[in-house]
Amino acid sequence: MSTAADPTADPAPGDPRTAGPATAAAAPAAAVPGQRPQIIGSLSPSRAADFVSCPLKYRFRVVDRLPEPPSQAATRGTMVHTVLERLFDLPPAGRTPAAAEELLPGAWADLRAREPELAAMFADEDELAGWLASARELLAGYFALEDPRRLAPAARELYVEHVLDSGLRLRGYVDRLDEARTADGLALRVVDYKTGRSPGPAFENTALFQMRFYALLLWRTRGVVPRELRLYYLGDRTWLRVVPDADDLLATERRVQALWAAIARAHRTGDWRATPSKLCGWCDHQSRCPAFGGTPPPLPEAQLADDTAPAVCEAQG
């Protein structure tokens, strides 16, 4: 885990270094200078993480598009993200823990209005009250990591998209983008919030892959390598930090291309393998999983690439 002298500091000056869905198995068309390549598929950080952790889970979510019941953890993550986004609508001096708590009921009401079935997650008012209390604790965790009164984000929940020369469309939502104008040009800092606990050292690189994915998108769309990537874990009030360079992001791009090649191969062969792990305890598809004695449904005749919109909040993890 990497730490910095002051996690509340404003972005510091520094060198900024410098369609309709198609089947996943489709071969990329040759790139024509000045012309957008034909889209062969789309990939977001969350779906990439699904495939890496378990190709069968990716299949259930992207190919079969099986519904998943709402969970308290994921819904709480979405609600906390909403509060943190709205917090920066307030004047700097008003961005206090008390103000964040005051935003919580409105965020919960908006969620229920969009998805009324969420209310059924709770057996009674006491369970709901405990859940809301846990959300307040996560917000307190955020304030333990940085002081939002000192920040002026350039963007929140920023949608970024870029099509590689291969035709693979990369896309996702950046929780927060900080900018600083320096003598050497534009410096960017990418910040992402997670409402779970931080991973062990063995899984830090996996966690930071999502951040490098966002950095790659920003580099390709803005021509600037982000100066810093920060991943805040509100559950245990810790954070990860990485300072990327162009070589890091080129390696990330190669990894993404290789990952898509593996996804395309699974689409062609129908070989979506289950990869049992500790994460299985949180999976909604155990009844269909061969690792647990289940049988997957027949594959759809038209196996589409991931053409669904990426989640605005990728709070799980």
pLDDT digits over 267-283, tens only? 999 999 999 988 898 89
What pLDDT score was predicted for residue 61? 94
Measured between alpha carbons, how far is 171 from 161 in angstroms, rounded to an integer?
A: 4
Average pLDDT, the chain: 86
* C-beta contacts of 183-187 below 8 A and 24+ residues apart: 183/13, 184/13, 184/14, 184/15, 184/16, 185/16, 185/224, 186/16, 186/222, 186/224, 187/11, 187/12, 187/13, 187/14, 187/15, 187/16, 187/224, 187/227
How is residue 211 written in tokens?
Answer: 């951040």
Measured between alpha carbons, how far is 41 from 282 in angstroms, rounded to an integer?
A: 27
Question: For residue 271, how many C-alpha atoms fall within 13 Å in the half-sphere facing its CB?
Answer: 5
What pLDDT score was predicted for residue 169? 96
What pLDDT score was predicted for residue 203? 77
Say if residue 199's pLDDT is above 90.
no
Percent of the chain whose pLDDT exceeds 90: 76
Q: How sure is the predictor about 301, in pLDDT bands with cuts at 50, 70 and 90?
A: confident
Counting Cβ atoms within 10 Å, is residue 269 exposed (0-12), middle (13-18) or buried (19+)? exposed
Measured between alpha carbons, how far is 304 from 295 in angstroms, rounded to an integer?
A: 21
What pLDDT score was predicted for residue 46? 93
CB 213: neighbour CB atoms within 10 A? 24
Say if residue 307's pLDDT is above 60.
no
3-state secondary structure of 178: strand
Q: How sure is the predictor about 34, in pLDDT bands with cuts at 50, 70 and 90?
A: low
User: Any residues with CB less than 8 A from the CB of 130 and at least 6 apart, and which?
Assistant: none
CA distance from start to end of the chain: 16
Residue pair 213/48 in contact (Cβ under 8 Å)? The answer is yes
What pLDDT score was predicted for residue 274? 95
The predicted model gives 215-226 an average pLDDT of 97
pTM (2 d.p.): 0.83
Measured between alpha carbons, how far is 3 from 242 in angstroms, rounded to an integer?
A: 9
* C-beta contacts of 268-274 below 8 A and 24+ residues apart: 268/24, 268/25, 270/299, 272/55, 272/56, 272/58, 272/59, 272/63, 272/296, 273/54, 273/55, 273/56, 274/54, 274/55, 274/56
CB 199: neighbour CB atoms within 10 A? 19
Which H helix or E strand runs over 180? strand 168-182
What pLDDT score was predicted for residue 96? 98
Counting Cβ atoms within 10 Å, is residue 123 exposed (0-12), middle (13-18) or buried (19+)? exposed
User: Any residues with CB less than 8 A from the CB of 131 and at least 6 apart, and which?
Assistant: 72, 76, 122
Residue pair 41/63 in contact (Cβ under 8 Å)? The answer is no
Say if residue 119's pLDDT is above 70.
yes
Residue pair 63/299 in contact (Cβ under 8 Å)? The answer is yes
Say if residue 303's pLDDT is above 60.
no
The predicted model gives 199-216 an average pLDDT of 88
What pLDDT score was predicted for residue 302? 65
What pLDDT score was predicted for residue 15? 35
The shares of helix, strand and coil residues in the chain, as percent rounded to the nearest 5, are 45, 15, 40
Query: pLDDT tens digits, residue range 127-183?
Result: 999 999 999 999 999 999 999 999 999 999 999 999 999 999 999 999 999 999 988
CB 310: neighbour CB atoms within 10 A? 19
The predicted model gives 243-250 an average pLDDT of 97
What pLDDT score was predicted for residue 92? 98
